[in-house]
Amino acid sequence: MKFLIIQLLITVLFLTYAFSHPRNHYHKPTCDISSNPGSLLIKPATGSCFNSGDKIPFTFIPGSDVPSSLDKVQLAITYDGTIVLKTNVALKPGKDKYSFTFTVPDNTTLPSPSDARYEIGFDDWKLTSGTFSINHPKFGLTIYEPKIKECYEAGQTVTIRWEDPFHKYQRIDITKIDIYNNVAQQWTNLVSKSIPVRHGQYDITLPKTLAKQNGYVFGILVKRNGKDEHYYSNPFSVTTAI
């Protein structure tokens, strides 16, 4: 009986301490997109697939520095060819979201007739998408996290997740992870070491010096069949610690 009473007292003391000293649970940051520099592209999503003749959705949420028009909208394979889809696209002021569609050119016009490394953006990549596929290639990686409209805090440790849907990279390593600042139009290296693709994810700490803005993109580099392949995440926003 004495043992049970002592055990009960210990339990009561523990619960009293726990409730009077709550843990500091992680609070998910929020980003005020419209008040920060840079716009945030939300369509097309990373990993989408289109065919020649399809309409590619192009949707973005404007930041505080949205231009009055898009000088040119470009479709490109990362580091391997670019074509211009449209020029001088007017943007009516005061909208909280802009949506357009652009037709995927035929195979003879595309930089590659079938590829998983396509991206779309405007004004020399001040706003860019993650990578997506055209004409159903049987290769490619998809970075599915960060998700669309993700918000991170500078200095936060985040998890990048990817998949290898055609199992072409299971014996290949990621050799580099970078982050793209679309306002400064500058890549910064975050990780330079071998990460097996088969692991499917990697935890990375964002620099505390990242500016408070929209449209950052993670980029990963792999080498397959002797050739570099670059894949990009969905764009995301960064805020600073309060």
Most confident of 5-9, 67-71, 159-163: 159-163
Q: Is residue 80 included in any domain, yes or no?
A: yes
Helices and strands counted in the chain (H then E): 1, 19
Cβ–Cβ < 8 Å for 180, 187: yes
**Alpha-carbon gap, residue 103 to 105, rounded angstroms:** 6
User: pLDDT value at position 24?
Assistant: 41
Instruction: Tell me the Ramachandran region of residue 182: left when phi exceeds 0, alpha when psi lies from -120 to 50, beta otherwise.
Output: alpha
Listed in sequence order, the residues at least 6 apart from 94 whose beta carbon sits closer than 8 Å to its beta carbon are: none
Amino acid at 161: R
Residue 193 located in a structural domain: yes
- Higher per-residue confidence, 16 vs 208: 208
pLDDT interval class at 20 (50, 70, 90)? very low
Total-model pTM: 0.86
pLDDT at 233: 98
Q: What pLDDT score was predicted for residue 115?
A: 97
Distance CA 170, CA 173 (A): 8
Q: Which one is predicted more confidently, 21 or 204?
A: 204
Asked, for residue 10, whether it belongs to a domain, the answer is no
Domain count, the chain: 1
CATH code: domain of residue 175: 2.60.40.10
What local confidence, expressed as pLDDT, does residue 132 receive?
Answer: 98
How do residues 196-216 score in pLDDT, each as one tens digit? 999 999 999 999 999 999 999
Residue matched to tokens 């009986």: 1
Q: Specify if 27 maps to a domain.
A: no
The answer to whether residue 167 sits within a structural domain is: yes
Instruction: Compute the distance between CA of residue 8 and CA of residue 27 in angstroms, rounded to an integer.
Output: 34
Kindly state whether residue 147 falls inside one of the protein's structural domains: yes
Residue 17 has pLDDT above 50, yes or no: no
CA separation for the pair 39, 65 (Å, rounded) = 8
What is the mean predicted confidence (pLDDT) over 128-142?
A: 97
The whole-angstrom separation of Cα 221 and Cα 169 is: 12
Mean pLDDT computed over 37-64: 95
86: which residues sit within 8 A by CB, 6+ positions away? Answer: 70, 72, 73, 100, 102
Range of the domain at 205: 33-239
Quote the pLDDT of residue 5: 55
Higher model confidence: residue 89 or residue 242? 89
User: Which residues have C-beta within 8 Å of that of residue 227, sequence separation ≥ 6?
Assistant: none
Indicate the range of 77-81, 88-92, 110-114 predicted with least confidence: 77-81
Nearest-angstrom CA–CA distance, 180 and 187: 4
Residue 134 pLDDT: 98
DSSP class of residue 31 equals -
